[in-house]
Structure 1
Amino acid sequence: MSVRKFRLTDAALITPFATLIRGTPGPDDLEALADGDGVYGLGGDDRLFSAYNLTRLNGGADDDEVTTDLTHAGSAGATNRAEALQYGEAGDDTLSGRIRLAALDPEDPFHSVTAILRQSGGDGDDTMTAEIVSLGTASGFFNAVLSGGAGDDVITSFLRGPAGAADATMLNRIDGGTGADLISADVYSSGGFFAGFAENRVSADAGDDQVDATAVAEGVGVATALNSVFAGAGDDHVHAETTAGTNVGRTLQANSVWGGDGRDDIDVGHFFGLNAFSDIDNLVWGGAGSDTILAAIDHRPGYEQYRLDALNDLSGGSGNDSLHARIRANVYTDFTLENRLSGGGGADVLRSEIVVTFESGEDNVLSSRGALRGGAGDDVLTAVG
């Protein structure tokens, strides 16, 4: 199976510097002075700062502190783009980036804004924090691209889109690199008029990693919430969760997780409410090793569903695996619900649970199925519903 990897590049990034500010081989305190500046710390434990747009900060070798804190105020009649780039290079670096998009003057939910924040920690045990937040209602594309590099990194990224926009697309792309990484990715999108799109793409790579990914999307038309996690080799802990809702439209929700070699603990879930139609999938591959996998698709309390297609597809791979798939739905008319569990080689424990509540007396078009395959070994299989 091919897995998409993410790499930070300078392609389509900030154009040549307005001013290039250089440090010394020793420790420096340096600051961008205008939009478009580049700041290079070179050697030493440097502290770099920017409050300006379209700046590039590079700490160079040693243990650096790199900070961008940008508030971008645009206008409805102009191109609105906020962008920042940070490099830590070798050393135990601390990278902190925040972009806040102020309300347009005048406000226009159909006008688009773009915010892009890119961080590369380099080799070493880095701490990286990224935040992009909209303070207005303009439509937008928000993208955080973070690469930890080799080392035991702590990476946190939070994106929150505009409230009441026409369309909102939020995307986290995180590559932890080799090492025992702690990764947290949260993205919230609200497309008030048409569509909301929220996605986390995480590659943790080799090491005993911990990954927590949350995607939330809302929209009148289509709401899409996606998590894609490649944990890599090692004893990993992965939690991936989505929530989606629309007034009259459709929701698309999916968690796709590859555990890789090792004893992995994987927990994936979806929550959904009152939607015309929902298409919801949990797709999990444990890989070699004794894995524990829980997949849940649950209605939010107090909501009903008109039409629902839901699938939990779990594969444990080799090893003594424990797989549990659950679907709980409160529906009016049509639904297709399915749990597919494959234990693979080893002494596996498989459990499939499907619970449905009907909210109408109408004729229902339904399909509910649980398929459990233990594979080689002494397996325990349980089906409920």
Structure 2
Amino acid sequence: MQTELAKKLGIEFPIFAFTHCRDVVVAVSKAGGFGVLGAVGFTPEQLETELTWIDENIGDLPYGVDIVIPGKYEGMGEDDATKLEQELKDLIPEQHRKFANELLESHGVPEIPDAEKMQELLGWTEATAGPQVQVALSHPKVKLLANALGTPPPDVIEEIHASGRLVAALCGAASQAVRHANAGVDIVIAQGTEGGGHTGDVGSMVLWPEVIDALGDTPMLAAGGIGTGRQMAAALAMGAQGVWTGSLWLTVEEADVPPAQMKTLLDAGSRDTVRSRSWTGKPCRMLRNDWTEAWEAEGNPDPLGMPMQFMVTSNAVQRGHKYPEQAKDVNFNPVGQIVGRMNKMRPTRDVIFDMVSECIDATERMHNLMNQNAEV
């Protein structure tokens, strides 16, 4: 089951798991995969706390950190995070903040006490993600840094390489993959539109071979709604070096997901997701609910660009986390179409082993089929 990339990273199975939960990172890596912690939303101090905890619980196993530096965003080029935040705040129409707040109020979602409110601009620009990179590089067990949106800036790639780590970047088109590779990115993650979070509009079965053919020797990880060993076998058969998964880990037993939100995920079907700009400003696949519908309705404000839209909605995200019962119909639930198969909670270890077992079965079935045809 080890691909060349898996051997390079010292992992047993080429299953990469993106998650915002440190417990899942540890559980995945201990089960033979490669856990990747999403850093967006953490201050550098909070990220330091999370990575220190992972270091203390993961043993000698490797893991990764995922940052968000979009290829294009409002205020691009400004390297002073405080100044950038104020400039962007000045550009946000008051009607957008009012609309978001009234939408929450109409659903009975309480306000967050002022003392608990988080910063609006956390990790969505080069200026704010830069300190997160520094924190990640201070932890020797972090062997990979991935950028979720766009090609990482040249100085970031150079710094990561100088530390002996690998750089990965997500893409939704072959042209983006080529730009990543030409910039020195070590691993390209091709994410089909079925995936959760930020996605393009091309399906995985079309995207993966296009990217593999365009990349040449640069390894590709397949992403986009992957949650079964059969999908993994298909990706490996096409030439992928492994699979990048995300949604799958929202419903494992180790996930830090409130019961109300967990029930929403477990009850959802594959047709219940939508690509919407309503939370981050870029197309992001999530569960359809009253929030996504309201931002699409005629006469209501159009979502702003990244990162300004999240500066409008960050308070709503925090209120949804703190009051999940009240916010169940207006909560931020990024998830891929694989949610239709995520219908029960399972231990992370079982998810990993079931994927590997099913992948082996699918590969053997194909091998036997080819042998039968050869004998005929």
Higher-RCO chain (CA-CA 8 Å, sequence separation at least 6)? 2
Structure with the higher fraction of residues in strand conformation: 1
Structure with the higher fraction of residues in helix conformation: 2
Q: Flag the structure with larger Rg.
A: 1
Structure-1-length-normalised TM-score: 0.25
Structure-2-length-normalised TM-score: 0.25
